[in-house]
Structure 1
Amino acid sequence: MTLNHSFKILLVSFVLILFNCSNQTEDKASMLIYGGTIYTVDDSNPTVEAVAIKDHTILFAGTLKDAEVYKTDNTDLIDLKGKTMTPGLIEGHGHFMGLGYNELNLDLLNTSSYQEIIDAVAERVKTAKPGEWITGRGWHQSKWDSLPAEMVNGFQTHHRLSEVSPNNPVYLRHASGHASFANEKAMEIAGLVSLAQDGIKKFEIEGGEVIVDASGKPTGVFNERAMTLITKHIPERTEASDLQAFDLAVKACHKNGITSFHDAGIPRETINLYNKMKSENKLDVRIYAMLTGWDKKLLNEWYDKGLMIDNDNRFTIRSIKLNCDGALGSRGAWLLEPYSDRPDHFGHETLPMEFVRETSLKGLENGFQVCSHAIGDRANREILDRYEIAFNALPEKANDHRFRIEHAQHLHPEDIPRFAELNVIPAMQAVHMSSDRPWAIDRLGEKRIKEGAYMWQTLLQSGVPIVNGTDVPVEPINPIASFYASVSRKTLRGTPEGGYEPEQKMTREQALRSYTLDAAYGAFEEDIKGSITKGKLADFTIYSQDLMTVPEADILKTKIEMTIFNGEIVYSEE
């Protein structure tokens, strides 16, 4: 053997030693999770025994024996003790600051009568300063155990509310966010007490309606864009209250196992707040934000600026939210045929369809996803039409557009296959079916309900993914409730037996995917989150029991035990 050959062998051996040492350094886990069932939502590896992570990314997912190779004396060991883990849950459609403010203001989500609303306001009046606005959200007249004697067009009137708060203006948003209820003091400030017109049956403004009584006087209920008649008089939020609401929203997400959040429509002030929180290392939820479509100037600024895709995966802006109709509860959803329980009314087109067409074209041109709120069957059809016009006009830009329709609750049967044909993603909140279905049949009638309402399985079978969520604060952010609704088609009280339109139930695998990988796909983020796969972000949700196998009746007993975000424990039940 020549000296030169020996030197080469020594050199190769030295390089290999260095390489192995380097690998050993790089491949050591900062955390090892084991001891329970781990659902990966990765078809190539559906369940694993252990997950090793290094800092904020997944290093390994597989058997415990193989995972232990990555363990050192410094590795944090998380023993699930028989509990279950999934990828971190993604709230696919909600309102982040609304979540926080719902905890700051009057939370009326659990009220079951008009009297409970009056009592809540009366209690707040005791501590309110003279003239201070009292605001809240969450009432829903169709969910009350009993209705007051005085009703107009299916809504309560302000008189009893005004009696308990004569000096404090009161403004209470409907659970849906598409109607509101004000007392006389609030209407007086807005200059609406003198609105009365003898004999008038309705008072409409573009995209909205003020409900009036037989004498033409406002009842206190404002539908859709008519709400601005009151809201423009309410003092703006303060920086201090925004910070408090933000902090409450982050904590609420962690407590509910939510690691990512699709924020459905934010203005420039909220963009500035999120950037500030990120710069201060306080943005501990991954926010995928949609620009509010109400502000054309904001949209034009972002068309010029371009997408903001965060390398830290904390705050991304690459989509636009358009509010195109109202909600079913307030009879604001835009329908092809009139409401069964209000035959002279079709709901509201709250945004001109020409603007939807224009925004769809500009969105495609500039690489922005368009996400349009549509609940009624006409709104869904009109939006699909405008999307199709844009796709046909700019086919080279439409290869991977991932345009969405938010809610897509009530569809004409002819429009259901169009989602797959146009590759439009329905972002549907399953818990809405649970809350709305008992009374929605009064709005739509049996035929429309059975042929086109909450058509989850039909849409899935057509080949489109579904993005799940809660629409918080319209519903509580609790993902277990939405998962239960997805697989049971029942109310949260467990009725009816067998579920509503049971053929539309999701399987448990589909429901979990709609909260993880499919939700990630709906935000162009399936390569970095949504499944427990090597190289993806280390976001996980841990549950008290196996919601994939427990009896259906026990799903709602499931609790979030731990939330891991970016490789760190941010919430623990213990």
Structure 2
Amino acid sequence: MRLFPILTFLTLALAPWSLQATTLIHNFSGYQTTEQSLEQFNTLVFDQGKVLATGDYAALSKKYPQAKKIDAGGKLLLPGLIDAHGHVLGLGRLQQQLELRGLDFPQTLRAIEAFAQDLQADEWLIGRGWNQVLWEGKEFPTRQQLDALDIDQPIWLRRIDGHAGWANSAALKRAGIDAGTQSPAGGEIIRGEDGQPTGVLIDNAMALLEKSIPTPSLAQDKESLKTAFDLALSLGLTGLHDAGIDNQTLRAYRQLASENAIPLRVYPMISVDNDNLEKLLRQGHIGAPTERLYVRSIKLSADGALGSRGAALLEPYHDRPGEKGLLLYPEDRILSLLKLATDNDFQVNVHAIGDRANHIVLNHLETLDKARDQNAFRHRVEHAQVLTPADIPRFPRLNLVASMQPTHATSDKNMAGDRLGEERLIGAYAWQTFLKQGTRIAGGSDFPVEPANPLFGIHAAVTRRDREGNPTKGWRTAESMTLEQALRAFTLDAAYASHQEQVIGSLEPGKFADFVLLDRNIFTIDPQEIWKAQVLETWVEGEKVFTRKQ
């Protein structure tokens, strides 16, 4: 397996459980969002991993005269940032795989050829990140294009959104996929005019191939998770919501927790695809809000993604009039899975991108609410990407959280209009519309679909521009967030979405001292520069767990 050295410029210290003396850190510009307001402060005092006070240096240094003092050198201090929707194992594994994000088609082929040179004779070439929307012609690729590279190994490359994959003939042969193979429910084998598979598999069809890929061991998965943890800490993330885990990943998490080897807070969602789902749910929640590992939710994907035309729409795709996307489960099966979770007191977090998928999920949640009040669960719609304007106001009554990823809008801006047409964009990526009606937005990235850096998400939320500054006036800026709203989405409201707002999400007294120091003040610089800010230090429970080498 090809291994990439990562984080060589970092120093990591994982000692969050050591005894501490009262510590006073000062000389910084501090910002946090509370339920009431945006607060500014220049001094933070903590002891035994918990915040004692925030405020002014003169008053707090007098109140805590014996405290150990740390001068922050005028930097920016924020509460620890939380990514409310990512794929932790996928992020860790990607560091050992081929990443194709942002490449045009010729660059993609060259990257595949270069990566193949270091593979063993029978080793699969695995990667992800290609995006045909960035290529000339914007058409799906084919197996013939991979076969022409004269690479003997089977090749499997997931699309950037993870909802389509591209295989060469060797991989299709290993999986037994040919002209006679039927597309599964909720998936599609793309075929050419001759009826043969082109090499692109959509949504549930990907499983037909992936079952042939050797499964990593539990030990390998634990190492991949650790790799992801280290990367997250270097980006200022002190909390991760893992959007869908299988049995082995859950075992890996539980072993790491028992070994005190989880250096930040993880909120995994149990995938409904687990064979022993009912047994897992009947066993109850794992951990507690105060613990590093806390499991009390499920993840269900109702549809696919917009870029691969798998998102389920009420009306046909604007650029493909004969298609409306895919539901990954029958409607009655979605309802039964949601009921199974809520009957066992589990929060449901449902991936819904298209307006049809969102409409169905909202209908089902209202059905459940008639039998039992659902408000306390804080159910989440993951992505809530495209909705009819009439469906958005249904969120507050059920106390639903919109778990949204701001960088999706800036990545999709060149494609969304093609897929939906201008009229349906009114209810798409509608952050400010949700916020104005009182719906909480839990900010995330969907890494490794998008980069894991939360400052990229805050930048996109505020500017509605990509990191190259396009479009210059922003894309549909009426739906942009204020910087205060964006910070809250990646701190307090992300914590609320995991039932942890009483212990993390802000630096109020009694909460854990999870915070980050940045090299510049994102509240005073040009908003287009926010994404360039660098995390200098990350602290979890009052212990420094990451320092950027100068």
Scaled by the length of structure 1, the TM-score of the pair is: 0.89
Report matched runs for 1:139-218 at 5 Å.
Answer: 139-144=130-135, 146-147=136-137, 154-195=139-180, 204-218=183-197
Task: Quote the offset at 1:45 in angstroms.
Answer: 7.3
| CA distance 1:251–1:341, change in 2 (3 Å) | same
Corresponding position: 1:291 with 2:270: yes
Preserved CA contact (<8 Å) 2:463 2:527:
yes
Q: What's 1:103 paired with? A: 95
How far apart, CA to CA, are the structure 2 residues paired with 1:369 and 1:100? 26
Can you list the C-alpha shifts for 1:154-196, whole angstroms capped at 9, x where unaligned? Answer: 3011212112244200000111010000001001111224549
Q: What's 2:508 paired with? A: 533
Task: Quote the offset at 1:459 in angstroms.
Answer: 0.6
SS in 2 for 1:209: strand
| CA distance 1:413–1:285, change in 2 (3 Å) | same
Report matched runs for 1:9-158 at 5 Å.
Answer: 29-42=21-34, 43=36, 46-69=39-62, 71=64, 75=68, 77-110=69-102, 112-144=103-135, 146-147=136-137, 154-158=139-143
Q: What's 1:500 paired with? A: 475
- Once the two structures are overlaid, the 10-residue window that deviates more, 549-558 or 323-332, is 549-558
Task: Quote the offset at 1:30 in angstroms.
Answer: 3.3
Can you list the C-alpha shifts for 1:215-255, whole angstroms capped at 9, x where unaligned? Answer: 11111100000001110100001234323312210111011
How far apart, CA to CA, are the structure 1 residues paired with 2:500 and 2:208? 39
Task: Quote the offset at 1:553 in angstroms.
Answer: 2.4
Task: Quote the offset at 1:259 in angstroms.
Answer: 0.2
Q: What's 2:361 paired with? A: 383
- Once the two structures are overlaid, the 10-residue window that deviates more, 50-59 or 232-241, is 232-241
Corresponding position: 1:434 with 2:410: yes
Q: 1:401 aligns with which of 377, 395, 404?
A: 377
AA paired with 1:217?
Answer: Q
| CA distance 1:256–1:192, change in 2 (3 Å) | same
Q: Percent identity?
A: 38
Can you list the C-alpha shifts for 1:464-503, whole angstroms capped at 9, x where unaligned? Answer: 1100110001001011111111011112211112211111
Can you list the C-alpha shifts for 1:398-426, whole angstroms capped at 9, x where unaligned? Answer: 24120110000000111010111222111
| CA distance 1:309–1:164, change in 2 (3 Å) | same
**Which has a greater percent of helix?**
1
AA paired with 2:32?
Answer: T
| CA distance 1:548–1:358, change in 2 (3 Å) | same
| CA distance 1:226–1:312, change in 2 (3 Å) | same
> In terms of Rg, which structure is larger?
1
Q: What's 1:550 paired with? A: 525
SS in 2 for 1:454: coil
Unaligned runs of 5+ in 2: 1-19
Preserved CA contact (<8 Å) 1:321 1:371:
yes
Can you list the C-alpha shifts for 1:242-284, whole angstroms capped at 9, x where unaligned? Answer: 2331221011101100000011111121111111111222101
Q: What's 1:247 paired with? A: 226
Preserved CA contact (<8 Å) 2:318 2:420:
yes
Q: What's 1:467 paired with? A: 442
SS in 1 for 2:183: strand
Preserved CA contact (<8 Å) 1:166 1:184:
no
How far apart, CA to CA, are the structure 1 residues paired with 2:45 and 2:485? 26
Choose between structure 1 and 2 for higher RCO, CA contacts under 8 A separated by at least 6 residues: 2
Task: Quote the offset at 1:32 in angstroms.
Answer: 1.7
How far apart, CA to CA, are the structure 1 residues paired with 2:465 and 2:520? 21
AA paired with 2:273?
Answer: W
How far apart, CA to CA, are the structure 2 residues paired with 1:269 and 1:280? 17
How far apart, CA to CA, are the structure 2 residues paired with 1:126 and 1:193? 28
- Once the two structures are overlaid, the 10-residue window that deviates more, 384-393 or 360-369, is 360-369
Task: Quote the offset at 1:573 in angstroms.
Answer: 1.7
AA paired with 2:108?
Answer: I
| CA distance 1:380–1:54, change in 2 (3 Å) | same
Preserved CA contact (<8 Å) 2:297 2:348:
yes
Scaled by the length of structure 2, the TM-score of the pair is: 0.93
Unaligned runs of 5+ in 1: 1-27, 197-202
AA paired with 2:435?
Answer: L
| CA distance 1:446–1:399, change in 2 (3 Å) | closer
How far apart, CA to CA, are the structure 1 residues paired with 2:352 and 2:289? 32
SS in 2 for 1:416: coil
Give the total of aligned pairs: 530
Supply the RMSD in Å over aligned alpha carbons: 1.8
How far apart, CA to CA, are the structure 2 residues paired with 1:172 and 1:503? 36
